[in-house]
Amino acid sequence: MAEISPFRGIYFDSAKVPNLNDVITPPYDVIEPEQQQEFYRRSPYNMIHLILGMHCSLEDDSEEQYNKAGELFNRWLKEGILRRDPVPAIYPYEIEYRLSPSLSKKRKGYICLLRLEEFETGCIRPHEKTYEATKSERLKLMCCCNANLSQIFALYSDPADVVMHYLEQGRESSPLIDFEDETGIKHKIWRTTDKRILRKVHSLMKDKSIFIADGHHRYETALNYMRIMRERFPERGEKASFNYVMVYLANLNHSGVSILPTHRMLTEFNGFNVEKFLEKMTKYFEYDEFPFDEATKTEVLEQFIARLKSFERTGGAFGFYVRGVRKFFLLRAKKDIVKSFLQEKKFPEAMLNLDVVILTHLILKHVLQVSDEFLNNEKKMWYEHDAHKAISLVDSGQYKMTFLINPTRIDQVQAIASAGLIMPHKATYFYPKVITGTILNLIDPSEDVDF
């Protein structure tokens, strides 16, 4: 069962950091190098100093960067740059955003602590693979800071939205945090400290499964950190703070939860021939061509993307574009043949109709003969959620080709996670991301959680 708890959140003192846009960042794993440098220049208190550090990347595994992050975090606390709430709270969090100029959405959730559980218990359900190297360097950072610097984004099912009803009923009248970020997304975070309400929410969540949406590496890192701390402090009980991790929880039944596509960007392929590739693909797919010239490219691209989106509910369609060929291709699966191929590969029933599985295992690994090493190398394979940007990155020469894919649906994520199955890397892109720098969590091994 899910065990949540209030906690004494940490946040930037508005008197010393009046503009949160100076210090917040996206999650560490979506920060591009040029963004990293900009965040570093923006403020000496920007979260980039903690989560990555100047000139550091996930591949720069020096101990110095982690030690420096720990020193900075403790200094900011000591100097009052960061404040810690005096009493435990759960933090209701509303995010208002636009998916298009004509479509505005509001996602409601809340920040709390979640008791760490091994995946085998079935309470916490992942849906994506993780990278060992990323977990290793995140663990080093966590051990130096002894804190959760960002929230794991997770989902639960509550069709009547009862949990949020109680939290909104008990929250303070004025938001603790209220700002609009540079992308136009509006953020409001309140405090709920009423113990009667907190106990009610704690009770309501006990029968719910938790589905990790974003933050699989951080969750597995927190598990590893917990194991280390249990060995270091064997006398501490089950309520010790290191047995919990900070999460942002949202109701998956709410219309404000959105998933964007994760288009695949591939670097150079020696000897790649588009005609031979399409010939191989005809065993499994039919395809439509969208030829263009410079004068018609923009119009044809919009038609091509609209056609791909028309398959969002039924699945089995992929866009393909390769540099130097003045055509977009729409690949349409011969579903019975594709299903037979995946069944022969022993894929479970719940995964047979997943576009991300078809793309990864049939198109990339089987037809293109892409290795697992290639798929796991972010210098050779990149992910982009904007179709227009994916096309432009190919045109610029940064990538050889792109495969465009429709987003995984929320019901598919729930079905896969509930069945204890794992999708390929980057199967989902939940939007908006939960930004880093709003609420942080100190992990003091001498402290217990409230519930």
Q: Could you list the mean pLDDT of each consecutive 10-residue stretch along the chain, which spans 451 residues? A: 95 97 93 89 96 59 83 97 98 95 95 96 87 89 97 95 97 97 96 97 95 94 98 97 98 93 90 94 98 97 98 96 97 97 95 95 95 83 93 96 96 86 85 96 96 87
- Between β-strands 441-442 and 147-148, what pairing exists: parallel, antiparallel or unpaired? antiparallel
For the chain, helix, strand, coil in percent to 5 are 35, 25, 40
Domains in the chain: boundaries:
4-257+432-442, 262-406
Q: What is the pTM of this model?
A: 0.88
Q: Quote the pLDDT of residue 223.
A: 98
- DSSP summary character for residue 89: B
Residue 61: the pLDDT is 52
* pLDDT value, residue 62: 64
* 3-state SS track over 340-401: HHHHHCCCCHHHCCCHHHHHHHHHHHHHCCCCHHHHCCCCCEEEECCHHHHHHHHHCCCCCE
Cα distances (Å, whole numbers) of residue 423 to 105, 201, 352, 353, 357? 27, 31, 11, 12, 7
What is the model's pLDDT at position 122? 87
Q: Which residue has the tokens 């708890």?
A: 5
Residue range 213-271, pLDDT digits in tens:
999 999 999 999 999 999 999 999 999 999 999 999 999 999 999 999 999 999 978 78
What integer pLDDT is reported at residue 359 of this predicted model?
A: 97
CA atoms in the 13 A half-sphere facing the CB of 340: 6
